[in-house]
Structure 1
């Protein structure tokens, strides 16, 4: 399953970025093999309305799950309409830590 995790850097060792639309990177990981691809967020420094634009960028990569700290209502609506499951991670750890918590079913679902 393809999982997207917001990140401050371009590797799975990077800290999770809590702000979805302003995340410098999106780490796309295979939940089974942990193979990954880093996607730079071209909207991170945008003036406004970056959440839905970033959400569409992620949807173009066919992800099934999103893990982030904070999700705005507009981005959430885009993911909900596409059937993407959303989870909250605010523990201050790495992308790998967030993936591990997801696999252990200990993450809170975004509401």
Structure 2
């Protein structure tokens, strides 16, 4: 089984990137052979359609499972139609995310998040002056 994790770096010790379409890399881990491969996300610099470009790249890599934080509707639907399962995880090391998946401790995404959910690095809270 091949597991792709959205990542800030190129190896298992890298931190996950909770953004799917705009992450820097995907670390692909082969559970059978223990092989690790990192690929640069071609969608990260897209003016638009980053999620679609990233999803197609993952599909072309023959991945069975994706671990990420957020995923918009276009990428999610491509994976759903390709029988690729998507799991949510916070910002932890890639290796830890893979281990949590193996232990059945990650939540499977059953619906997409809002489009462009990963465009911002913020926490999603708005500043309200004086609070």
TM-score (norm 2): 0.81
Distance 2:57 2:18 in 1: 18
Higher relative contact order structure (alpha carbons within 8 Å, sequence separation ≥ 6) = 1
Residues 1:102 and 2:118 are matched in the alignment: no
Bigger radius of gyration among the two: 2
2 CA distance for matches of 1:102 and 1:37? 18
- Root mean square deviation, CA, Å: 0.9
State how 1:1-20 maps to structure 2 within 5 Å: 1-20=1-20
Unaligned runs of 5+ in 2: 111-131
Instruction: Indicate if the aligned counterparts of 2:43 and 2:52 stay in contact, CA closer than 8 A.
Output: no
Corresponding residue of 2:119 = none
Q: Confirm whether residue 72 of structure 1 aligns to residue 72 of structure 2.
A: yes
* Structure 1 residue runs without a partner (length 5+): none
How many residue pairs are counted as aligned between the two chains?
A: 110
Note if contact 2:8-2:23 (Cα within 8 Å) is conserved in structure 1.
yes
- Given the two structures, how large is their TM-score scaled by the length of structure 1? 0.95
What is the aligned partner in structure 1 of residue 113 from structure 2? none
